[in-house]
């Protein structure tokens, strides 16, 4: 199953190492602390935030390429780095929406606010958006 995604050799190796660490150092329980998650092989801040948010309901924001683009284009949380955007989103998004906001922003970036040809005419927030598409023709 891992072979269908990029860098599968490294990911498969990290999965095995992570399983070993979880069994031997965490009593087979996935930790719910960022530092412990980031200490696992192949787990960075984004992955740790996904686990903390989706598995444990922590108010975190995993900023991927889609969320970074949407945050900057719309002006919701502009920033030059992923961490800067993450911190602004966590401050800006009301706590009752934090667990789901990550998924909403990813889907918006994947299907509406796309990288090459954003579908501004289909966007539900285009009237609030800072992005001004270039005229074509």
Domains and CATH numbers, the chain: 1-57 (1.10.340.30), 61-137 (1.10.1670.10)
Mean pLDDT within 10-16: 91
pTM: 0.85
Catalytic residue among 11, 32, 46, 91: 46
The pLDDT score that the predictor gives to residue 6 is 77
In angstroms, the CA 53 to CA 98 distance is 8
Query: Which ranges of 8-123 does DSSP label H, i.e. alpha helix?
Result: 8-25, 34-38, 45-50, 65-74, 82-92, 98-111
- Which long-range contacts link 82-91 to residues 24+ away (Cβ below 8 Å)? 82/45, 82/46, 83/45, 86/45, 86/49, 86/61, 86/62, 89/61, 89/63, 90/59, 90/60, 90/61
Q: Is the pLDDT assigned to residue 24 strictly greater than 70?
A: yes
Catalytic residue among 64, 80, 91, 132: 64
Residue with tokens 């074509």: 136
Is 46 catalytic? The answer is yes
Dihedral (CA of 77, 83, 18, 39) sign: negative
Confidence of residue 37 (pLDDT cuts 50, 70, 90): very high
Is 64 catalytic? The answer is yes
């Amino acid at each position: 199953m891992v072979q269908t995604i990029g860098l599968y050799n490294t990911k498969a190796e990290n999965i095995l190492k992570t399983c070993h660490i979880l069994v031997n150092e965490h009593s087979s329980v996935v930790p719910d602390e960022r530092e412990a998650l980031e200490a696992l092989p192949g787990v960075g801040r984004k992955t740790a935030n996904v686990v903390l948010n989706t598995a444990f309901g922590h108010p975190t924001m995993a900023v991927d390429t889609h969320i970074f683009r949407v945050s900057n284009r719309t002006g919701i949380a502009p920033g030059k780095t992923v961490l800067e955007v993450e911190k602004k989103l966590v401050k800006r998004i009301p706590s009752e929406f934090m667990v789901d906001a990550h998924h909403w922003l990813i889907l918006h970036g994947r299907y509406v606010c796309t990288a090459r040809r954003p579908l501004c005419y289909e966007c539900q927030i285009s009237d609030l958006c800072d992005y001004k598409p270039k005229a074509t023709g």
